[in-house]
Amino acid sequence: RPDQKDWPNYTAYINAATGQRRTIKEFVERIRDGATALGADSQQGGLGLHPDNGEIIGILSENCVDFATLVHSLLVITVPFALLSSYYTPYELKHAITLSKATRIFASPSYVSQLISAGFPEDRIYILEGNVPGRKSFQDLISHVHNNEILRVPIRHAKVNTLAYLIFSSGTSGLPKAVMISHGNLINSLLQIFVMAPELAKVQPVNVISNVKIELSHLY
**Number of other CB atoms surrounding residue 95 within 10 Å:** 18
The predicted structure's pLDDT at residue 194: 82
For 2-182, CATH gives 3.40.50.12780
Q: Judge whether residue 216 has pLDDT over 70.
A: no
pLDDT digits (tens, 9 = 90+) for 102-112: 999 999 999 99
Q: What is the pTM of this model?
A: 0.89
DSSP 129: S
Question: Which residues fall within 8 angstroms of residue 11, CB to CB, at 6 or more apart?
Answer: 21, 22, 23, 24
**Number of other CB atoms surrounding residue 68 within 10 Å:** 19
State how beta strands 81-84 and 163-168 pair: parallel
Q: CA–CA separation, 150 vs 169, rounded Å?
A: 39
The predicted structure's pLDDT at residue 217: 53
Helix (H, G, I), strand (E, B) or coil at 100: helix
The predicted structure's pLDDT at residue 55: 97
The amino acid that residue 98 corresponds to is T
Cβ-contact 119, 70 below 8 angstroms: no
The predicted structure's pLDDT at residue 206: 55
Q: Judge whether residue 1 has pLDDT over 90.
A: no
Helix (H, G, I), strand (E, B) or coil at 125: strand
- What are the structural domain ranges in the chain? 2-182
The predicted structure's pLDDT at residue 218: 53
Select the more confidently predicted residue: 76 or 171: 76
State how beta strands 125-127 and 104-107 pair: parallel
Closest of 131, 140, 126, 139 to residue 57, by C-alpha: 126
DSSP 154: P
Residue 214 pLDDT grade (very low, low, confident, very high; cuts 50, 70, 90): low
pLDDT digits (tens, 9 = 90+) for 179-191: 999 999 999 988 8
Q: Judge whether residue 134 has pLDDT over 70.
A: yes
Q: Judge whether residue 52 has pLDDT over 60.
A: yes
The amino acid that residue 28 corresponds to is V
The predicted structure's pLDDT at residue 96: 95
| Max CA separation in the chain (angstroms) | 56
Beta-bridge partners for 168: 178
Q: Average pLDDT in the 118-132 region?
A: 95
Q: CA–CA separation, 181 vs 80, rounded Å?
A: 9
pLDDT digits (tens, 9 = 90+) for 135-170: 999 999 999 999 999 999 999 999 999 999 999 987
Q: CA–CA separation, 65 vs 122, rounded Å?
A: 24
Q: Judge whether residue 210 has pLDDT over 80.
A: no
Cβ-contact 189, 183 below 8 angstroms: no
Rounded to the nearest integer, the mean pLDDT of the chain is 89
The predicted structure's pLDDT at residue 213: 54
The predicted structure's pLDDT at residue 200: 79
- The separation between CA 49 and the C-alpha centre of its own chain, rounded to angstroms, equals 14
The predicted structure's pLDDT at residue 205: 64
Cβ-contact 63, 74 below 8 angstroms: no
